[in-house]
């Protein structure tokens, strides 16, 4: 017999608690395997830039580098360093999701959807940042284009895009269900 308020023997945790723990494990895996994540991120950018580039593109995934503008005047290799990857922008969303799941949100599917939307927004923002760098290098040359693309445009896109992703995440995660909003 269990004490009042204590779980019964053999009681299992709620699915939200298991998902909370899974979120923390996923966060730890992202940190542990961030190099592999960066390789995937570079491969994805290589596919995207090949679709729009008229010049050569080469992806060296094992070096987390994409070379573009090959055969032109503004060839450049972009190496995805840990601080330029979207992996560390995803971690806060995962950690907040884990906390909210642990605390028992009203809707687990809504919280998981909010993480998926916020996470996808962060990944796409980082790809847009890379496109901005590539576009400015193509337009202004390697030295000036990279400087303005990485320093100014890249920072603006990351900050504004990250803020939008965070707002989307919080809005979707904390929004009351439609039925509750309709009640006076």
If phi > 0 it is left, if psi is from -120 to 50 it is alpha, else beta; for residue 162 that is alpha
| pLDDT in the model for residue 75 | 79
| pLDDT in the model for residue 94 | 92
C-alpha R_g of the chain: 21
| pLDDT in the model for residue 62 | 87
| pLDDT in the model for residue 118 | 93
Residue that has been written with the tokens 């723990």 in this structure: 21
First and final C-alpha spacing in the chain = 44
Residues 6+ apart with CB under 8 A from 143: none
| pLDDT in the model for residue 120 | 95
| pLDDT in the model for residue 54 | 81
Mean pLDDT in each 10-residue stretch from start to end of the chain (184 residues)?
A: 45 78 94 93 91 86 87 82 88 91 81 92 93 86 86 89 90 75 61
């Amino acid at each position: 017999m269990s004490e009042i308020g204590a779980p019964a023997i053999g009681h299992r945790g709620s699915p939200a608690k298991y998902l909370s723990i899974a979120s923390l494990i996923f966060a730890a895996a992202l940190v542990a395997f961030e190099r592999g994540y960066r390789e995937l991120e570079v491969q994805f950018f290589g596919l995207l830039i090949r679709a729009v580039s008229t010049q050569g593109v080469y992806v060296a995934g094992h070096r987390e580098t994409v070379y573009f503008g090959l055969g032109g005047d503004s060839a450049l290799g972009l190496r995805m360093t840990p601080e330029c990857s979207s992996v560390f922008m995803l971690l806060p969303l995962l950690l907040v999701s884990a906390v909210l799941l642990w605390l028992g949100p009203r809707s687990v599917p809504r919280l998981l959807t909010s993480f998926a939307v916020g996470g996808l927004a962060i990944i796409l923002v980082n790809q847009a940042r890379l496109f901005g760098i590539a576009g400015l290098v193509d337009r202004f040359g390697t030295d000036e284009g990279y400087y303005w693309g990485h320093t100014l445009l890249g920072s603006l896109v990351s900050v504004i895009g990250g803020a939008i992703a965070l707002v989307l995440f919080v809005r979707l995660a904390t929004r009351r269900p439609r039925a509750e909003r309709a009640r006076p």
